[in-house]
């Protein structure tokens, strides 16, 4: 049972959040939503502990498709960054704001960019493409994310000032935003031969994720006394993290999505 301890703890934490939100708001949605996510994460971690190599993708699909199809398309909640701005400015601290607060703003202090590795519905499609390892070095075009961030904010402010910001317009913005992200992300992956190119250069959510994950409690650590400098961890990392260094400011440190590929590749178990 020891190897399933993390899975049980994670499930218990989500269940506690589910019950607390249900009791404090009276909404059954919170109980079902967080129970489902906790259950999926718990099963995924247990499968990973049992050695199943597709455990991460299993969690990514269960959580990602639930959010995209059920919450986004069926319940019509805009879970994109534009939805976050809209709910925030409208004073509606419901599912959208809560989702951002937990997964993308304060949660990363604890679990870094776990969202990007295990739950994002955009990346769950990119990860199916054939370029699992980037074909070349990083491009110096990461500034695009800040332009996208400003655009997402500008669109919502414009809609509010025109009196056109409402649940219906936000739903259409959600659909259009997702189509745009998929098209741009897939094209970029094909051109740069890098599945995660969109995450590295375009995604506006990283403006929240990167600074918060710098302080993340959960991170891959390297026992440099064990490391034999074989470079295998660097070869398999989809995010170009210099993971065989242990400094918090190692190159691309805030890009780690906790996928665990480096740990599996290390021949001397120097990564924990
Ligand atoms: S960087 Fe953006 S698109 Fe990529 S996994 Fe994270 S949230 Fe999703
Ligand atoms: S391979 Fe390692 S360093 Fe790279 S993203 Fe995955 S967990 Fe992080
Ligand atoms: S794979 Fe392990 S031993 Fe090789 S460079 Fe990375 S941390 Fe060091």
CA of 228 to the centre of ligand 1 (A): 32
186-207: average pLDDT: 98
174-192: average pLDDT: 97
Whether 93 has a pLDDT exceeding 90, the answer reads no
Q: How confident is the model at residue 186, as a pLDDT?
A: 98
- Residue 236: count of CB within 10 angstroms of its CB: 17
Q: Which atom of ligand 2 is nearest to the CA of 259?
A: 6
Q: Which atom of ligand 3 is nearest to the CA of 226?
A: 3
Q: Please list every protein residue whose CB sits less than 6 Å from any atom of ligand 3.
A: 222, 227-233, 244, 265-266, 268, 270-271
First to last CA, the chain: 20
3-state DSSP assignment of residue 246: coil
Q: Among 46, 10, 17, which residue's Cα sits nearest to residue 33?
A: 17
Q: How confident is the model at residue 68, as a pLDDT?
A: 96
Whether 193 has a pLDDT exceeding 90, the answer reads yes
Q: Which atom of ligand 3 is nearest to the CA of 266?
A: 1
| Banded model confidence at residue 173, pLDDT cuts 50, 70, 90 | very high
Model pTM score:
0.94
Query: Is residue 14 within 8 Å of residue 37, measured between CB atoms?
Result: yes
Strongest mean pLDDT among 26-30, 51-55, 204-208: 204-208
Whether 97 has a pLDDT exceeding 90, the answer reads no
pLDDT tens across 120-129, in order?
A: 999 999 999 9
CB of 173 sitting under 6 A from ligand 2: no
200-225: average pLDDT: 96
pLDDT tens across 143-170, in order?
A: 999 999 999 999 999 999 999 999 999 9
* Strand (E) or helix (H) holding 99: helix 95-99
Q: How confident is the model at residue 94, as a pLDDT?
A: 73
d(CA 262, CA 272) in angstroms, rounded, equals 10
235-241: average pLDDT: 97
- What residues pair up with 148 in beta bridges, in sequence order? none
d(CA 36, CA 14) in angstroms, rounded, equals 9
Q: Which two tokens stand for residue 231?
A: 């470079």
d(CA 119, CA 116) in angstroms, rounded, equals 6
CA of 36 to the centre of ligand 3 (A): 36
CB of 213 sitting under 6 A from ligand 1: no
7-15: average pLDDT: 91
3-state DSSP assignment of residue 222: strand
CA of 235 to the centre of ligand 2 (A): 10
């Amino acid at each position: 049972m020891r190897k399933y301890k993390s899975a049980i703890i994670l499930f218990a934490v989500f269940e506690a959040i589910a019950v607390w939100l249900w009791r404090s708001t009276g909404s059954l949605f919170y109980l079902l939503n967080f129970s489902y996510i906790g259950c999926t994460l718990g099963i995924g971690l247990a499968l990973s502990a049992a050695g199943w190599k597709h455990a991460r993708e299993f969690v990514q699909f269960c959580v990602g498709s639930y959010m995209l199809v059920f919450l986004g398309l069926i319940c019509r909640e805009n879970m994109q960054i534009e939805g976050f701005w809209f709910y925030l400015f409208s004073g509606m601290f419901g599912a959208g704001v809560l989702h951002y607060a937990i997964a993308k703003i304060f949660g990363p202090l604890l679990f870094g960019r776990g969202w990007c590795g295990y739950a994002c519905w955009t990346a769950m499609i990119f990860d199916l493409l054939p370029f699992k390892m980037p074909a070349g070095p990083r491009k110096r075009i990461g500034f695009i994310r800040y332009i996208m961030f400003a655009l997402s904010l500008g669109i919502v402010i414009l809609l509010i000032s025109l009196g056109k910001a409402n649940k219906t317009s936000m739903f259409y913005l959600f659909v259009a935003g997702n189509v745009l992200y998929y098209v741009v992300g897939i094209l970029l992956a094909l051109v740069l031969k890098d599945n995660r190119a969109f995450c590295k250069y375009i995604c506006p959510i990283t403006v929240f994720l990167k600074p918060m994950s710098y302080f993340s409690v959960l991170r891959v650590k390297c026992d440099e006394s064990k490391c034999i400098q074989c470079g295998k961890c660097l070869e398999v990392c989809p995010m170009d993290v210099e993971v065989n260094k242990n400094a918090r400011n190692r190159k691309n440190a805030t890009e780690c999505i906790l996928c665990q590929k480096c740990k599996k590749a290390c021949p001397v178990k120097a990564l924990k």
